[in-house]
Amino acid sequence: MVQTNLAAPSNVLALPLRVVGASNRTTRVDTMSNSAGTVPEQRPRTATARHTSWAVLHTLAGILAACLMALGTADFAAAASSSDDLVKVFVVEDPTQSGTPITSLQAIAATTLGDGARANEILDLNRDLAQKDGGALRSIDDVLRPGWILRLPQDASGPGVRLARDTATQEEPSAPPADGAQTIQPSESDANSPQSTMLTIPLAAAIAIVGAVLLALVTAGIVGRRKVRAACTSVSRTVDKLGDPARRRRRRAARQNMSRQFAADFESVRRAYAILSELSATNPTAPPQVHALRVDDTSATVWLPASDAAEAPWTSIDTTRWQRSTANAVQFAQQDGSRAQTPPSQACLVRAGTDSSGQAIFVDLSHLDSILSVTGDQAVARDVVQNLLEEIARILPSTPVIVRHGAGDSHPLTVPAGLQQIPRTGNAGIAQPIAMHGTVRSVASRRALAGLVVVAGTPSAQEAAELADLCGPGGPGWTGLVYGEVDSAHWRWYTDDQGHVDIPVLGLQLSVPA
């Protein structure tokens, strides 16, 4: 099937009019100048900034020019492709409108081809092609009817020659007419209708326009990058603040749940002391000094000084950490139960918190030997000291405690019921061990802590002197727990508002019970 799209009086018929949108835009770069035309002092103009801005603008201009070149190439290719579908035709005019009689094939050949004998060529191109009125050209003597569209050879020229688009390969042919003539699908517009145009924007033009808009946005973002960065930072902070109360509630609930688990879990304390007993039994004369311990269902890990070492089956992880399977510890306890139940007399294992995997970390307070200062977020620092008191109350009940209130004591603590709170009267010490019953009785009867001095907040000069008398060298050997800054502290832990405590001497960050 051949379809020819016609429109008069244009010389090119039914060729879609492709209009490529183009805009002449002038980009004005704001130089952040004031009304006097000078640059404000808080935004100094520098040669580096100018060079950077011009380099960016040149780069963007090059990209835009490349897009426009690609657009021109695409349009040229589209025009070349579309010209392949154009054929030359002759439209038979109506004598009532033109005032001239209907022409013949010989006359058309003489006018358009310069030789009337070439009428047979026109006949061959149009034989049996259905016309608009249903008729068809079958012989050279047939009378031509107004409105017929006749194909012409490609070398035809003259005032009656027009161009039409051949759409024979773009549509399925319709059913042939009853008289056997081939079907010709006429155009929707006849020879006397005004010229029809179709406004289209090619894909390349659309891409170029979108690219230009994006480049303009990028340019504006680069020029105003400081404002954009400040706006993004402000939005991020606002979103973070809106979600902060919910996050704090979730963290607080998790830390409170950790505190309840510590209060109900006695078995992990026994297992920790069993591991400590095993290490002491391997070398009774010079046992390794365990500063911290972690034990779970599969393995046990201890933190030792770099100068100490653990014997097989313990294996070294790094210079201070050693690890072994807990199954071997159980076997050791079964083979020698008496030694497994006798931990070192100076040991005082307390759970300081949990690591990133949720396992409790035991710290031996017997190595403190003076004062622990917990600083940072005061509320979390209070929770650290409160948890240490709860742990000591479980393993060393009736331990004497003296409480002092320092500067900035906005988060007071509560002395657990298992401890013995006493007033500060002189240089009070403990001459004889007190018989006590706790979770680990053997440790309670051989405890290293003579007593605890707890300072809520930063101590004053007088309080610091009293603290040094009780906890320093030559004193009764009490242990100081302070959530505040103390110059004479032996250990220092640091807390944050997320519920964590950093223990630098062990290289650990733990979550703290609440």
Determine the Cα–Cα distance for residues 137 and 124; give it in Å rounded to an integer: 10
Residue pair 201/20 in contact (Cβ under 8 Å)? The answer is: yes
pLDDT at 168: 53
Tens digits of per-residue pLDDT, 219-248?
Answer: 777 777 777 788 888 888 888 778 788 888
Give the position of tokens 């405690």.
401
Helix or strand holding residue 494 (H, E): strand 491-495
pLDDT tens digits, 184-212:
444 444 434 444 445 566 777 788 888 88
DSSP calls for 122-185? HHHHHBTBB-TTS-BB-STTPPP-TT-EEE--TT--STT-EEEEE-TTTSPPPPPPTT-PBPEE
Q: What is the pLDDT of residue 413?
A: 86
Find residue 293's DSSP bridge partners.
302, 362
Amino acid 95: pLDDT: 83
- For residues 128 and 136, the answer to whether their CB atoms sit within 8 Å is yes
Element (H, E) at 276: helix 267-282
Report DSSP state, residue 350: E
Instruction: Tell me the H-state helices in 19-99.
Output: 47-83, 95-98
Question: Which distant-in-sequence residues (6+ apart) come within 8 Å of 219 by Cβ?
Answer: 27, 56, 57, 60
pLDDT tens track for 13-44 = 443 333 333 334 433 333 333 444 443 444 44
440 versus 450: the higher-pLDDT residue is 450
pLDDT above 70: residue 176: no
**Omega within 30 of 0 (cis) for the link into 9:** yes
Q: Can you give the pLDDT at residue 442?
A: 33
Q: What is the DSSP letter of 365?
A: G
Which is more confident, 73 or 397? 397
* 3-class secondary structure, 510: strand
Q: Tell me what the pLDDT averaged over the chain comes to.
A: 75
Q: What are phi and psi of 319, to 5 degrees?
A: -70, -20
Confidence class for position 480, pLDDT limits 50, 70, 90: very high
Instruction: Write down the pLDDT at residue 510.
Output: 96
pLDDT at 383: 94
Burial of 167 (0-12, 13-18, 19+ CB in 10 A): middle
- The pLDDT assigned to 183 comes to 41
Distance CA 152, CA 135 (A): 18
Burial class (CB in 10 A: 0-12, 13-18, 19+), 472: middle
User: pTM of the entire structure?
Assistant: 0.52
Q: What pLDDT sits at residue 42?
A: 42
Phi, psi of 179 (to 5 degrees): -80, 5
Residue 18 is inside which H or E element, if any?
A: strand 17-18
